[in-house]
């Protein structure tokens, strides 16, 4: 199977695995150079892996998993979307193609500690700051 033309960009699986590498690296407090040194690679190669521009070989993914102390399956979690049930319609696909930052990871980590009311207030504030309509405003 052909990988795709320049229009298509990286294969979705390569992008997903790369995103998971990036998320875990940031969550653990490593920069691309740290991971590169541990694997005997340049930070540029890590960048390419994380963007999905270069595929990660099985042996390199094994090394990354050992460095992060996670099972290889970690990198594939969330890749398959369950098929909707008979009564369910096709929902919007989950878009996770946004830049991960230390702040976005911390927001995700802290949110469950808040009450539902506090979560809704924070969500409304974030939507307002981002210029998005809240669900209440749409309905």
Q: What gap in Å lies between CA 32 and CA 50, rounded to an integer?
A: 9
Q: What gap in Å lies between CA 3 and CA 10, rounded to an integer?
A: 8
Reference 25, options 16, 39, 35; nearest CA is 35
Reference 102, options 25, 37, 38; nearest CA is 25
Selecting from 1.10.10.410, 1.20.1250.20, 3.40.50.300, 1.10.260.40, what CATH number does the domain 12-75 have? 1.10.260.40
87 touches 9 (CB < 8 A): no
Q: What gap in Å lies between CA 53 and CA 47, rounded to an integer?
A: 8
What are the residue ranges of CATH 1.10.260.40 in the chain? 12-75
Q: What is the DSSP string of 12-63?
A: HHHHHHHHHHHHHHHHTT--HHHHHHHHT--HHHHHHHHHTSSPPPHHHHHH
Per-residue pLDDT of the chain (139 residues), as tens digits, is 444 444 568 888 999 999 999 999 998 989 999 999 999 999 999 999 998 899 999 999 999 999 999 999 999 998 875 545 544 444 454 455 566 777 877 887 788 888 889 988 988 998 888 886 555 555 5
Instruction: Supply the pLDDT for residue 96.
Output: 55
Instruction: Supply the pLDDT for residue 60.
Output: 96
Q: What gap in Å lies between CA 108 and CA 127, rounded to an integer?
A: 15
């Amino acid at each position: 199977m052909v990988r795709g033309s320049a229009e298509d960009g990286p294969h979705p699986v390569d992008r997903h695995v790369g995103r998971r590498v990036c998320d875990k690296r940031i969550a653990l407090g490593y920069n691309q150079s740290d991971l590169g040194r541990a694997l005997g690679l340049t930070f540029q190669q890590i960048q390419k892996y994380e963007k999905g521009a270069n595929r990660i070989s099985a042996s390199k993914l094994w090394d990354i998993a050992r460095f992060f102390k996670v099972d290889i399956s970690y990198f594939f979690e969330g890749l398959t979307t369950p098929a909707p049930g008979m009564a369910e319609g096709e929902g919007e696909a989950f878009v996770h193609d946004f830049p991960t930052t230390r702040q976005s990871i911390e927001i995700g980590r802290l949110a469950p500690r808040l009450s539902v009311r506090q979560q809704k207030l924070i969500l409304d504030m974030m939507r307002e700051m981002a210029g998005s309509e809240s669900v209440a405003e749409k309905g």
